[in-house]
């Protein structure tokens, strides 16, 4: 049963994004020559955009699209990587039902049990197997498109149980070979981890073979279109918002789609002003809990009271040891307090709501 068969009082909205969809469509319609990295703050709508693009793409062209969301997978070892990326072709498998189910949980490339076991034992190269699959699709006149969400989830995995290089390095080498060198497949990678993408962006080989595209929060006009037309975009019939109420939501969370969805859900039972006041207090509490007794964290976040974004050199006046400063910033990015933009090399609060949390926290300190 598909989700369309159910009636919900609030549904997931997809607002505009025509510019982003056109960019992705243009990328797919070019000869494969580079890897596309899609980046942006947490909850900016990257995954939703890719699902929408995928749905449109499969209607428009003859494609073989593999969409893989690593956020949903637990990957601890090289064997996990192989089992998750490669499924079983039930038509070729002669193994018993139990074995087939074990190997066939996630289908990325359908292979026989024998081939899969060969890869796990190290006798067969998984990247050579993927290349052969792409070649087969090209010969059939089908464009292979590989979309991977949150690729950094396998950054810690090594080939052959830690005896060789990291899987992700081998993957990048493979992606370059499939795009720039062989032109066999389109590769799209999405991530909200700015530090991970910064490593990629500063790698001289990858930088020359990659494109970077930012998917940011909704612009104000798009957020207002959504909030003033809730039945059209979210199927909400229980209430409607005035322009003043919509502007209050924008002022609190900006164009963060997940946070807007969260607030809309609360409005079924509670008045808007109460919901937004509680939301701001919650964000202030998050900042308070995160800072705790760390003077370094407090100094860094105080810089954002009067600045929208800052580069590493802008923190020089804090007189924090450079290595310590870098670790503190890395921790703030990891914990989604700050976002790091890899292309501009700047930091800024993860969303407008986090900015509220920072402002209210320091305002409260003044009052004490």
Query: Quick one: 206 and 352 in the same domain?
Result: no
Query: Quick one: 209 and 237 in the same domain?
Result: no
pTM over 0.95: no
pLDDT for residue 87: 53
Domain final residue, candidates 182, 214, 246: 214
Query: Within a domain: residue 252?
Result: yes
Tell me the CA distances in angstroms from 175 to 181, 205, 313, one per residue in order: 9, 12, 34
Q: Tell me: the pLDDT tens digits for 265-317?
A: 999 999 999 999 999 999 999 999 999 878 999 999 999 999 999 999 999 99
Query: Quick one: 150 and 270 in the same domain?
Result: no
Q: Other C-beta atoms within 10 Å of 220: how many?
A: 12
Query: Within a domain: residue 254?
Result: yes
pLDDT in tens, the chain (368 residues): 345 567 789 998 999 999 999 999 999 999 999 999 999 998 899 989 998 998 888 777 777 777 777 665 444 445 555 655 665 444 444 444 333 333 332 345 665 666 656 666 666 677 777 788 888 888 888 888 888 888 777 766 555 555 555 667 778 888 899 999 999 999 999 988 888 888 887 777 788 889 999 999 999 999 999 999 999 999 999 999 999 999 999 999 999 999 999 999 999 999 999 999 999 999 999 999 999 878 999 999 999 999 999 999 999 999 899 999 999 999 999 888 999 998 899 999 999 999 999 999 999 987 76
48, 233 contact by CB (below 8 A): no
Query: Within a domain: residue 3?
Result: no
Beta strand pairing call for 338-341 and 346-349? antiparallel
Which CATH number covers residue 275?
1.10.10.10
Query: Within a domain: residue 152?
Result: yes
pLDDT for residue 218: 96
Cα 364 from Cα 238, distance rounded (Å): 37
pLDDT for residue 194: 86
Nearest to 66 by CA among 168, 144, 153: 144
148, 70 contact by CB (below 8 A): yes
pLDDT for residue 99: 39
Query: Within a domain: residue 7?
Result: no
Query: Quick one: 79 and 174 in the same domain?
Result: yes
Query: Within a domain: residue 1?
Result: no
Cα 201 from Cα 343, distance rounded (Å): 7
333, 195 contact by CB (below 8 A): yes
Query: Quick one: 235 and 325 in the same domain?
Result: yes
Query: Quick one: 208 and 106 in the same domain?
Result: yes
**Could you tell me the residue range of the domain that residue 157 belongs to?**
17-214
Query: Quick one: 225 and 163 in the same domain?
Result: no
283, 360 contact by CB (below 8 A): yes
Query: Quick one: 68 and 164 in the same domain?
Result: yes
Sheet containing strand 186-191, strands side by side:
63-69, 143-149, 186-191, 35-39, 210-214
Nearest to 25 by CA among 182, 145, 175, 133: 145
Beta strand pairing call for 143-149 and 109-111? unpaired
Query: Quick one: 197 and 232 in the same domain?
Result: no
pLDDT for residue 75: 47
Which CATH number covers residue 89?
3.40.50.300
Cα 137 from Cα 49, distance rounded (Å): 25
179, 185 contact by CB (below 8 A): yes
Query: Quick one: 225 and 287 in the same domain?
Result: yes
Query: Quick one: 198 and 325 in the same domain?
Result: no
Number of domains in the chain: 2
Query: Quick one: 58 and 111 in the same domain?
Result: yes
What six digits make up the tokens of 134? 């792409």
């Amino acid at each position: 049963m598909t989700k369309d068969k159910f009636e919900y009082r609030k549904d997931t909205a997809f607002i505009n994004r025509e510019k982003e969809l056109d960019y992705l469509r243009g990328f797919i319609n070019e000869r494969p020559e580079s890897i596309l990295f899609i980046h942006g703050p947490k909850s900016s709508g990257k995954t939703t955009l890719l699902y929408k693009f995928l749905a449109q793409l499969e209607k428009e062209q003859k494609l073989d699209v593999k969409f893989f969301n690593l956020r949903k997978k637990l990957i601890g070892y090289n064997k996990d990587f192989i089992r998750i990326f490669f499924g079983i072709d039930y038509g070729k498998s002669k193994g018993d039902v139990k074995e087939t189910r074990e190997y066939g949980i996630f289908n990325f490339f359908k292979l026989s049990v024998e081939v899969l076991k060969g890869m796990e034992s190290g006798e067969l190269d998984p990247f050579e197997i993927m290349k052969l699959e792409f070649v087969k699709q090209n010969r059939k006149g089908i464009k292979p498109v590989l979309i991977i969400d949150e690729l950094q989830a396998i950054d810690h995995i090594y080939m052959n149980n830690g005896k060789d290089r990291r899987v992700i390095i081998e993957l990048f080498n493979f992606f370059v070979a499939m795009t720039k060198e062989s032109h066999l497949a389109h590769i799209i990678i999405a991530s909200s981890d700015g530090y991970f993408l910064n490593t990629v962006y500063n790698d001289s080989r990858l930088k020359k073979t990659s494109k970077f595209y930012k998917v940011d929060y909704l612009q104000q006009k798009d957020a207002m279109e959504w909030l003033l037309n809730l039945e059209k975009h979210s199927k909400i019939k229980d209430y409607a918002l005035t322009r003043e109420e919509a502007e209050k939501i924008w002022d609190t969370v900006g164009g963060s789609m997940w946070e807007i969805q969260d607030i809309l859900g609360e409005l079924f039972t509670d008045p808007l002003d109460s919901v937004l006041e509680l939301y701001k207090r919650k964000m202030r509490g998050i900042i308070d809990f995160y800072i705790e007794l760390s003077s370094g964290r407090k100094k860094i976040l105080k810089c954002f009271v009067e600045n929208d974004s800052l580069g590493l050199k802008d923190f020089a006046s804090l007189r924090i040891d450079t290595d310590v400063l870098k670790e503190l910033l890395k921790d703030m990015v990891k914990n989604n307090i700050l976002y790091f933009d890899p292309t501009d090399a700047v930091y800024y609060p993860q969303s407008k709501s986090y900015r509220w949390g920072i402002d209210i926290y320091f305002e409260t300190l003044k009052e004490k």
